[in-house]
Amino acid sequence: MAAMRIQERNLLISFGDITTSYVKHSLQGHSQADLLARPQLVPLSAKNIIILNQTHSIDGYSVARQIDAQLRPYTKNGDYIITDQPDIALAVETADCAPVIFASKRTLAVVHAGWRGARNGIITCVLGNFITYGDNIQDIDVFIGPTARSCCYRVQQDFINQFPDGNYFIKRGNDFYFDLVTFIIQELIKAGIARHRINDKYATCTICSEQYCSYRRQRSLNLRTMTVAVLLAA
C-alpha cells in the first residue's frame, strides 16, 4: 500500500496509511525542511509544511501571509490549520480521529476531528474562519478521511452521555457503537454545507482495516499517520 493521493481542481490531498506511519512525537524537533524531504510523509510538492501540536481542542492556526508559513513544526497548539496561500502543505496526525479537509476555490483547511473536538464545535469554528477569509459556506467542499467507524467504535454509557440527542449510536446486542462520521456530516449540514459537497468515500474504518493506524487496535505501538493537503498555485 501507499498513501492515497487525490486531486480535485486546485487541491491535492494525501491520506497516509500504515506504510507511512511513525511513532507519535518522533517527528517533534524536526524542521520543515526535514519533513518536506520525506516523500513517504509528504508526497505532495510544497514550499512549506504546517503541523501543530494537537490537543483535541477547537483552536487552530491561520496562515494568512507567507511569513506565517515559517512556523516550526509542533511549536503551536491547535487542531486545525487554514490558509488561502498556495503551495503550503497543511498536515494533521490521526489514529482513529477523523482527518477532515475543507476547500473552497481559494481557501483550504485541514482538521483533526476527534470526538471531543467535533462535539465542542470545531466544525463550526473552521467554517467561521472561511467566512472571515471571504468565502461562502455553500461553496465549500469537504473530504473525510480514514477514521473509526460504527462497525467497531464501541463506547460506554459515560461516552453516550456526552451526546444528549443520541442519534449517532448503533446498538448491537448489549453494546453501543459511535458513528463519528455521521456526527461530523450532521454538523456540516446544520452549518449549511450541502450533503452532495461532503465526500466520505475515503472514510475507511481505521479499527478494522489494518491498512491504517488505530489507537484502539494498536495502542501499545502509539503509531500515527499524516494527512496532508495543498492548494495549488493558479
Locate all alpha helices (DSSP H) within 161-198, ordered by sequence: 180-190
The pTM is what? 0.95
User: Which triple of cell numbers denotes residue 6?
Assistant: 487525490
Strand 108-113 to 154-155 pairing: unpaired
H/E stretch holding 4 reads strand 4-8
Is the pLDDT confidence value at 129 over 50? Answer: yes
The CATH number assigned to the domain holding 176 equals 3.60.140.10
pLDDT of residue 9: 86
Contacts of 198 (CB under 8 A, 6+ apart): 141, 142, 144, 185, 188, 189
pLDDT tens-digit readout, 2-22: 568 899 889 999 999 999 999
Give the three-class secondary structure for 39.
coil
Q: What mean pLDDT, rounded, does the chain reach?
A: 94
pLDDT of residue 2: 56
Rg of the chain on CA atoms, in Å: 17
pLDDT tens-digit readout, 90-110: 999 999 999 999 999 999 999
- Residue 197 identity (one-letter amino acid): R
Contacts of 48 (CB under 8 A, 6+ apart): 32, 36, 69, 70, 87, 88, 89
In terms of Cα–Cα distance, which of 44, 52, 66 is closest to 231? 44
**Cα–Cα distance measured from residue 44 to residue 9, given in angstroms and rounded to the nearest whole number:** 15
Give the three-class secondary structure for 48.
strand
88 falls in which pLDDT band (50, 70, 90)? very high
User: Which triple of cell numbers denotes residue 77?
Assistant: 497548539
Per-residue pLDDT averaged across 31-55, rounded?
93
User: Which triple of cell numbers denotes residue 61?
Assistant: 492556526
Q: Write down the number of H helices and E strands in the chain.
A: 5, 15
Domain span including residue 212 = 4-231
pLDDT of residue 75: 95
In terms of Cα–Cα distance, which of 152, 146, 141 is closest to 202? 146
Per-residue pLDDT averaged across 204-215, rounded?
95
Question: Measuring CA to CA, how many Å separate 168 from each of 15, 61, 98, 165, 222?
Answer: 25, 29, 15, 8, 27
Is the pLDDT confidence value at 82 over 80? Answer: yes
Per-residue pLDDT averaged across 41-58, rounded?
94
Domain tally, the chain: 1
User: Which triple of cell numbers denotes residue 118?
Assistant: 467535533
**Cα–Cα distance measured from residue 172 to residue 100, given in angstroms and rounded to the nearest whole number:** 28
Backbone φ and ψ of 105, nearest 5°: -70, -20
